[in-house]
Amino acid sequence: MCGIIGYIGNKQASDILISGLSHLEYRGYDSSGIALMHDNKTEIFKAQGKLINLIEILNSALPTYKASHLGIGHIRWATHGLPTTANAHPHTCTCKKLTLVHNGIIENYKELKEELIQNQKNTVFRSQTDTEIAAHLIAYEYGKTKNLLKAMQNAVKKIKGAFAFCAIHNDEPDKIVVAKRNAPLVIGLGEGENFVASDIPAIIEYTKKAIYLCDYQVGVITKDDVKIYDENDVLVQNKIEYLPFEAMAISKMGYKHFMLKEIHEQGDVVRNVLSSKILSPVEKIKLEEFKLDKAKIKNIKRIQIIACGTSLHAGLVGKYILEKFAKIPTDVESSSEYIYRDTIADENTLVIGISQSGETADTISAIKQVKKENSHVIIITNRADSTMARLADSLMPVNAGIEVSVAATKSYMAQLMSLYILAIYLYEQKGLNDYDGEIINLKQELIELPNKIETLLENVSDIKEVARKYANYKDFIFIARGINYPTALEGALKLKEISYINATGYSAGELKHGPIAMLDENMPVLALLNKGIVYDKVLSNCEEARARQAKLIAVTNYVSKKDEGLFNDIILIPSVSDTLSPAVNIVVLQLLAYYISEFLGKDVDQPRNLAKSVTVE
């Protein structure tokens, strides 16, 4: 959700900023901009829309900007103000000597604006953004102190909300001043050059040594030095970390879109998660990452899962399996709801935070809240270097590999697998008895799962055909019961976010309590119909939908000859137990959403209005 970058050194700053922003585009793509300082002057380039538009502007500009060795840049996911060029960062103060980029939200920007208008009647506002107010505020403080560090320190004391700032000033042309609160910022350390960015991929090509700025700290970055001050203006030393990343050429490997490539990687993702954990069906699961001992595990009275979006849906599947196997009551809640109510967690509560990015602001706030209650916090994330990972008592990195498509697919699969592992692990550590061999069977099935997923992916013609047939419908309903209810929610979310079709997931039993009123021949209903305890019930719900003339699609591993006629279309999936079926069903729904979006000519990998990392509450 907005990405920022800064460079100071001897190289051409524009190249480094643009390359860095290209690695931050997952954080937003409403607009982008860079500010380049040279000879005590700052030149700003901005463009609405994707980064490519900014690159085109630079290509047609006078090449004088190439002489700059100091600059800051920004990629925007709009919060305040339309995604226009005027609202694109960087923003400047009235005299344009101070330039600022910002990731976050300034909650009291209206009050600050009022104060600024009182204090400096000639302030010129050029955008509708909260960031511009911060630029004016820092400049106002600069007027008093003539010192960019002090100006930033004074300004951030007045700002409420979340921010990562990079500021430069024409009168101090040898530095970038940075500050942060509840938004990520990493400072990359080089030889005769230094970097700053919202995330490591933006700088990893240039350095593997970095410092993470902490909340309330302010830093001064010159080309040879980094100085960090805490909120009491005391000089502090942050630990230097060695980044566990390789600069990687991210490629589609011949696939038309990253999303399709990532869907196809899911067999390997499952192998990867399971490889060191399940060695054979009869051996106990190894989970060195989980730091609670047996005695403490036996004391866990409840589990709370906190997550957002797709990760929340993984958590909902987690509830079914944790309650089924670990026999621990489990609640699942959206982080944004969890934060603002009186939740009950204590030292006997296990809290599971799930997040692909590890940077989702709502989930971070919720985790910080429960940490005060002494609950053990386990984080399941695809980013072992993230803010959330650093808050974890136990860290389960899912290692799905970098996910470029904004719509999460393989990271969801990896989260599901981690939850299966955790549920079985808790079950085994509690010494529960596997009387009917269900756990052994499940482990065997997990071992076989990658091949099943790959078999499904080998023949997608039915899914493509259904996508083609239903792409032009305006609405879509997904129904399921039991452990696949979250799969219906996730399937609907995937379709909504990349095709903009109004899709909703319902528990099949709920259909008759209201939503059935919407059914007619213009409403496709997709049912997840797995042979298992709810099969007959879902089938009855399908009959009810059919009686209202809805178009019916079944995703199923079994349908009898007598029931075939009920459905307009049937997508057959490999045979799998009810317990593990979410991991197979979801692949069908991901592909269906993908092919519908592709058929409609939408921007599959970067759907409108979205960002991959949601760092504002």
Separation in Å, CA 396 to CA 277, 355, 566: 12, 11, 44
Q: How far apart are the first and last CA of the chain?
A: 10
d(CA 222, CA 241): 19
CA 248 to chain centre: 20
Q: Is the C-alpha dihedral spanning 202, 206, 208, 209 positive or negative? A: negative
Alpha-helical regions (H) of 60-211: 109-119, 130-145, 148-158
Q: What is the rounded (10 degree) CA torsion for 321, 326, 331, 335?
A: -80
Sequence-separated (6 or more) residues with CB below 8 Å from residue 85: 31, 46, 47, 48
At closest approach, how far in Å is the CB of 49 from ligand F6R? 21
Q: Is 368 a catalytic residue?
A: no
Sequence-separated (6 or more) residues with CB below 8 Å from residue 221: 6, 8, 175, 176, 177, 178, 187, 194, 196
Write down the residue that tokens 């000519």 correspond to. Answer: 601
Q: Is residue 259 within 8 Å of 409, Cβ to Cβ?
A: yes
Task: Sheet containing 475-480: give its strands across.
Answer: 502-507, 475-480, 524-529, 551-556, 569-572
Which of these, 468, 449, 447, 445, lies nearest to 457 by C-alpha position? 449
Three-state helix/strand/coil letters over 65-103: HHHCCEEEEEEECCCCCCCCCCCCCCEECCCCCEEEEEE
How many Å is the Cα radius of gyration of the chain? 26
Q: Is residue 611 within 8 Å of 26, Cβ to Cβ?
A: yes
Q: Phi and psi of 452, rounded to 5°?
A: -65, -45
Separation in Å, CA 61 to CA 16, 22, 35, 55, 458: 17, 20, 14, 10, 48
Q: Give the DSSP letter of residue 247.
A: -
Alpha-helical regions (H) of 233-381: 258-264, 266-275, 294-299, 309-321, 335-338, 361-371
Catalytic choice (319, 452, 496, 612): 612
User: Given the complex with ligand F6R, which of 552 and 592 has the nearer CB atom?
Assistant: 592
Q: Can you name the residues that pair with 333 across neighbouring β-strands? A: 306
CB nearest ligand F6R: which residue? 309
At closest approach, how far in Å is the CB of 165 from ligand F6R? 23
Q: Is 2 a catalytic residue?
A: yes
d(CA 454, CA 297): 36
d(CA 47, CA 372): 43
Catalytic choice (2, 166, 308, 542): 2
Q: Give the DSSP letter of residue 148.
A: H
Q: Produce one character per residue of 549-582: b if its CB has 16 or more CB atoms within 10 Å, e if not.
A: ebbbbbbbbebeeebeebbbbbbebeebbbbbbb
d(CA 296, CA 15): 53
The DSSP bridge pattern shows strands 475-480 and 502-507 to be parallel
Site residues for ligand F6R per CB under 6 A: 308-311, 355-357, 360, 363, 407-408, 493, 497, 614
Q: Is residue 383 within 8 Å of 415, Cβ to Cβ?
A: no
User: Given the complex with ligand F6R, which of 79 and 579 has the nearer CB atom?
Assistant: 79
Residues belonging to the active site: 2, 612
